[in-house]
Amino acid sequence: MIETTTAGVERPAAQPTLTVAAVARRLGVSPTTLRTWDRRHGLGPSQHQAGTHRRYSLQDVARLELMRRLTADGASAGDAARVALATAPADLPTVSLEAPPVVPVGRGATVLQLDRSQDRVRELVRAADTLDAPRFTAIIRESLDRRGVIATWDGLVVPALAAVGARWARTGQGIDAEHLASECVLGALRHHTARFSAVPMSTRPILLACVEEEQHSLPLHALAAALAERHVGTRVLGARVPPDALASAVRRLAPSAVFLWAQRPHTGDPAQLAALPEIRPSPLVAVAGPGWPAHPERWAVRQRVVGVADLSEAVSLLSRAAGAGVLGGV
């Protein structure tokens, strides 16, 4: 397409672009994941200029779509990124500015926006919508057995829960489906973790907890299951852990690392970390979730605090802290 300037000079028209939020919705990932893919793998906006908002071209989105498909099929993020960056533009998935295809759910009415390639996600959402707990659980367990926790969480669980949750936020309907889906995921993750109970784990476990007043504990169980695959032992304290209870657990367990999740805005108050006792050897303190403020390395706390962006990064960091290394999947 060509446009003419006021001076009468012809130049190519500006190419359409999408915001970070729009791209995240299309791919079924979080904006944090997009920033991680940009920072770690170079899969960001190709025309971004300093001081401006990040906007993705259609070719940028096509590369991200290819990356998402590869990771959903079990490829590591690094391998998927290398393939996506090396793929010629003509061989990338086709992306348009039209709204993503809609997939009918149940009888009647409400539809959820999902990519047509996400057959398993679509099947999972249907099972949640019909409250088919056995089918929902079977899909999750099969994926955990075949692809492991990280690929299942990033490529299946997160997109499905996001779709179900988005419908509830938009229409006020489907909270029953969201609750059932969360319970089924929790059960499948606990079952998967228990499979490794007979395998020797690291001697100093990782302590996993939600901060005080935070009730969203499902990410803790995903992390525990992913670490169990790598023979890293954990203790999950769950939701709404008061600082004094967390401090008591640190003294008794002497963990190699403490992982704290904050989902809702402002639940992640760095002042809570002041209650963590000083023990030797000192545990790593890792924080994650959108409830924390940015730049944990600048917080005025005694402990060395590291922020992690996603499940894969948390698993790598905590495996190293436990001295176990990454031993591979199931």
User: Looking at residue 62, which CATH number applies to its domain?
Assistant: 1.10.1660.10
Q: In 3-state terms, what secondary structure has residue 305?
A: strand
Both 238 and 136 in one domain: the answer is: no
Both 120 and 28 in one domain: the answer is: no
279 close to 302: Cβ distance less than 8 angstroms: no
Q: What is the count of structural domains for the chain?
A: 3
pLDDT confidence bin for 261, thresholds 50/70/90: very high
Least confident of 19-28, 105-114, 119-128, 181-190: 105-114
Across 17-42, average pLDDT: 81
Determine the pLDDT at residue 106: 36
pLDDT confidence bin for 330, thresholds 50/70/90: very low
Both 77 and 116 in one domain: the answer is: no
Residue 328 lies in a domain: no
Both 252 and 145 in one domain: the answer is: no
- Does 74 have pLDDT greater than 60? no
Q: Which residue has the higher pLDDT, 48 or 2?
A: 48
Q: Which residues, including other chains, have CB under 8 Å from residue 88's CB and lie 6 or more apart? A: none
pLDDT tens, residue by residue, 151-195: 999 889 988 888 888 777 667 778 899 999 999 999 999 999 999
User: Looking at residue 141, which CATH number applies to its domain?
Assistant: 1.10.1240.10
97 close to 121: Cβ distance less than 8 angstroms: no
pLDDT confidence bin for 103, thresholds 50/70/90: very low
pLDDT confidence bin for 115, thresholds 50/70/90: very low
Both 85 and 107 in one domain: the answer is: no
Both 86 and 109 in one domain: the answer is: no
Residue 327 lies in a domain: no
Residue 286 lies in a domain: yes
The length of the chain in residues reads 330
Q: Which of 160, 194, 228 is the last residue of a domain?
A: 194
Across 195-202, average pLDDT: 75
Determine the pLDDT at residue 104: 37
Both 293 and 313 in one domain: the answer is: yes
Q: Which residue has the higher pLDDT, 210 or 73?
A: 210
Residue 234 lies in a domain: yes
Residue type for position 29: V
Both 238 and 171 in one domain: the answer is: no
User: Looking at residue 235, which CATH number applies to its domain?
Assistant: 3.40.50.280
Both 217 and 315 in one domain: the answer is: yes
Both 175 and 229 in one domain: the answer is: no
Residue 55 lies in a domain: yes
Residue 37 lies in a domain: yes
Residue 330 lies in a domain: no
Instruction: Return d(Cα 105, Cα 127) in angstroms, integer.
Output: 9
Q: Which residue has the higher pLDDT, 201 or 250?
A: 250
The b-or-e profile of 226-243 (16+ CB within 10 A means b, else e) is bbbbbbbbbebbebebeb
Across 294-306, average pLDDT: 81
Q: Which of 161, 194, 227 is the last residue of a domain?
A: 194
Torsion angles phi and psi, residue 4, rounded to 5? -110, 130
Select the highest-mean-pLDDT range: 61-70, 104-113, 254-263: 254-263
Least confident of 117-121, 129-133, 230-234, 254-258: 117-121
Instruction: Name the average pLDDT for the chain.
Output: 81
Determine the pLDDT at residue 146: 92
Both 87 and 125 in one domain: the answer is: no
Q: Which residue has the higher pLDDT, 71 or 140?
A: 140
Phi-psi region of 53 (alpha: psi -120 to 50; beta: other; left: phi over 0): beta
Residue 96 lies in a domain: no
List the domain range (segments joined by +) for residue 270. 206-322
Determine the pLDDT at residue 14: 55
Q: Which of 39, 64, 91 is the last residue of a domain?
A: 91
Going 72 to 184 to 198 to 224, the CA torsion angle's sign is: positive
Both 213 and 309 in one domain: the answer is: yes
